[in-house]
A and B are shown apart, each in its own frame.
Chain A
Amino acid sequence: MGVYEIIFYLFAAVTLVSAVFVVTSRNIVRAAFNLLFTFFGVAGIYVLLGADFVAIVQLIVYVGGILILLIFGVMITNKITEVDIKTGTLHTLPAAIGVGLFTGIVGAVVLNTEWRVVDSEMPESTLTSLGTMLITEYVLIFELLGILLLIALIGAASMARK
């Protein structure tokens, strides 16, 4: 068992265990902190797949942006001073059965399919080529996403201020 395998199993375990806590913990703040570890684990998996830039973006955007937004949402919509940061669950048993069946089906499909794998060596660094692609091939999508983010921010600010 090489270093790559050990690191993969480590990151996969961190991701999945903390994801289980995210969806089962009754305390919202605890779930949010477990989401932090899930995002870190997913970033580690990206690095193992040779996607260094995406891993950094994952850390900056998800951990630094989205998670902070979610925690702000928790803080504003709950009475922190009282002990009211618990959340209930509903339909736990039917959901567990349904999701368990779905997991089994997806897992069986993934395990039984002969994936056509092409051997390619790990890229050195994806930063230069990703940047070049963003301003040549994908420039239209890049600009559209910029406009979309601007619209989303204006919309969110105007909706939250009313």
Chain B
Amino acid sequence: MLEISLTHFLVVSSILFCLGIYGVVTRKNAVMVLMGIELILNASNINFIAFARYGNFGLQGQMVALFVIVLAAAEAAIALAIVLNVYKTFVNINVDELDTLRD
């Protein structure tokens, strides 16, 4: 229990992943849904780096983690542009009220 092993990191990342899913599922505000997605991406990154450290894969896991961070940045920029457009059209960004493609 006291010796930190791979399992400790995996438990932390799986709890973080499930919290992210909870945020994505329950939040009304689209920006909050994006925050849940960031939590999920962080959990997957912890997994990549933990396996790279304990599985003798060299630096490949860290490289994939860097690529995931780049994709997360691109995703956040695009998603916020979409959210801004939705806000201009519908004046709110609650995902449960947006059920038409145009007004």
Contacts and interface: CB of A to CB of B under 8 A. Distances in A.
Contact of B11 (A51, A87, A110): A110
Interface string B31-54: 110111011001001100110111
A61 B66 CA distance: 10
Interface string B45-83: 110011011111001001101110111111111101111
Given A16-B12, A22-B35, A156 B80 contact: yes
A62 to B, nearest CB: 7
A70 B9 contact: no
Q: Pick from A28, A62, A133 the residue with the most CB of B within 10 Å.
A: A62
A152 B75 CA distance: 8
B59 A73 contact: no
Contacts, number: 221
A10 interface: no
B5 interface: yes
B73 A42 contact: no
Contacts of A12: 8, 12
Given A69-B77, A89-B26, A141-B67, A49 B53 contact: yes
29 contacts: A1-B2, A35-B35, A38-B39, A45-B46, A46-B45, A48-B4, A49-B50, A49-B53, A53-B66, A54-B66, A57-B69, A62-B72, A65-B73, A70-B38, A73-B80, A77-B83, A88-B28, A95-B22, A99-B25, A106-B17, A107-B15, A117-B55, A118-B55, A126-B59, A133-B63, A141-B67, A152-B77, A156-B78, A160-B80
Interface of B: 2-12, 14-23, 25-29, 31-32, 34-36, 38-39, 42, 45-46, 49-50, 52-56, 59, 62-63, 65-67, 69-78, 80-85, 87, 93-94, 96
